[in-house]
Structure 1
Amino acid sequence: MNEQQSSLIHRVRPPQPAKPSDRSPLLLLLHGIGSNEDDLYGLAPYLDARFLIVSARAPLTLGPMSYGWFNIEYTPSGLVADLAQAARSYQLLLKFIDELIARYQPDGGQVYLLGFSQGAMMSLYVALSEPAKVAGVAALSGRLPAPVLDQLAAPDALRDLPILITHGTLDPVIPVAFARETRARLEPLPLALTYREYQMGHEVSMESLTDIRTWLSALLDR
């Protein structure tokens, strides 16, 4: 069911907590450019049933059922991102997360983030600048957004923040070199960083999905 009584339209999958009185962990899914909230929602049956899953629609309308977090332009020198739009989406996403925390009161008062492509970039943007809101991040087939380098939280605030980066070695959209660069930039930080590559394109393979599920479930079992 789509919900509109908040900053972003979204779909919700209720959790199946071990005990009815449990406060459930909340997993927020952020899709890539040109997609919508139904895309990553399709992963919900494969993810831990203890999560209350929220799949958000990005705010920028690109076409019928096609949305993004910020525009990108193809130029002779490469892709150019609209950083002003990215900053606006970032602020809206922070507001949306606060709304989710207030409404659902998730376990620990934080959310887990899972983003694909542009959604992975937004997930890293939020987590590395506002880690107090985030319990962990799975960044799939993305890269480190430039603005976050100027907005990094203090090292102590980032300490032991779980981050999983997955990427395809055959990705034609965001080449794996960008993921490796992201890893190189994050390794000096005191994060709990996990990095994995797969022989796949710009996608979520069953092999990578199994690892993502295992990683997320392990965070709940700590």
Structure 2
Amino acid sequence: MSSTSQYNYAKGDTMLLHYLVREPKIQTENPPLLLLLHGVGSNEKDLFSRADQFPDEFLVISARAPFTISENHYRWFAVDFSSGRPIINAEEAEKSRTVLIQFINQLKEKHSFNSNAIYLGGFSQGAIMSFSVGLTQPQKLKGIIALSGRILTEIKPIIASKEKLKKLNALIIHGTKDTTLPIEYGRQSKSIVDKLGIPNTYVEFNYAHTVTPETIQTINEWLAKH
């Protein structure tokens, strides 16, 4: 049996993000870590609802974004689609990127896992943040999992060198019927990671802006190879 828990802040605690934990079903001394990031308007419970579908040997953690939209609704950064293209609050996006980097360091102090086997993945804005952290701090991760996301233009000046990036792996999944972040964003992401020399797997599914059992199966097959 696996165990799940909600992290509760203790008095004087300095953890930067609220999060949920699924302990590994198969206990090992240093399990790999799968850190999940939700999309805009959601919360840490969203992807965590699928926690028990991920590989038994993984420690699974799902984090809540730092900016509040309303009760139970959070964002990694504000975004405006009124122009037909996503216009972001770059300051909030950068703040979330730096918070996530610090949060990963904090998790190392709170939980036992293999720091050389950290996979950062998310949906939509969570995928965007996974790219933003992984492409700028690749030494912290073994892999990126990007579901229906894109790579922000704003991070391009701070992307790490190809030498550092070649040790990173990426899984990019996008729906051909996605009307929120159309398939072109997935294809652009694939092109960018190819040019950066990052080993990657790119998969298109015939669905919209969503996560399906097919998505989870593809993630698990990819994780098993790495």
TM-score range, shorter chain: over 0.9
Paired-residue identity, %:
35
Residues of 2 paired with 1:26 and 1:107: CA distance?
Answer: 7
Residues 36 and 121 in structure 2, CA contact (< 8 A), matched pair in contact too:
yes
TM-score, normalization: structure 2? 0.91
Where structure 1 has 5 or more consecutive residues not aligned to the other structure, the ranges are none
Residues 108 and 115 in structure 2, CA contact (< 8 A), matched pair in contact too:
no
* Counterpart for residue 140 of structure 2: 133
Q: Does 1:106 align with 2:110?
A: no
Among 64, 68, 75, the residue aligned to 2:75:
68
Q: Does 1:14 align with 2:18?
A: no
Q: Does 1:186 align with 2:181?
A: no
Among 27, 31, 54, the residue aligned to 1:24:
31
TM-score, normalization: structure 1? 0.93
Q: What does residue range 197-212 of structure 1 map to in structure 2 within 5 Å?
A: 197-212=204-219
Displacement of 1:109: 4.0
1:105 and 1:148, CA in 2 relative to 1: closer, same or farther beyond 3 A?
Answer: farther
Q: 1:76-120: CA deviations, max 9, x gaps? A: 353210000101111111110110122224214452111100000
Q: What does residue range 79-158 of structure 1 map to in structure 2 within 5 Å?
A: 79-158=86-165
1:142 and 1:77, CA in 2 relative to 1: closer, same or farther beyond 3 A?
Answer: closer
Residues of 2 paired with 1:210 and 1:173: CA distance?
Answer: 23
Where structure 2 has 5 or more consecutive residues not aligned to the other structure, the ranges are none
Q: Between 51-60 and 182-191, report the one with greater CA deviation.
A: 182-191
Aligned residues: 217
Q: 1:28-77: CA deviations, max 9, x gaps? A: 00000000000000121111011111100000000110000000123335
Q: Does 1:2 align with 2:15?
A: no
The letter of the residue matching 2:104 is I
Q: 1:111-134: CA deviations, max 9, x gaps? A: 211110000000010001001111
Residues 110 and 132 in structure 1, CA contact (< 8 A), matched pair in contact too:
no
What do you get for the CA RMSD once the two structures are aligned? 1.4
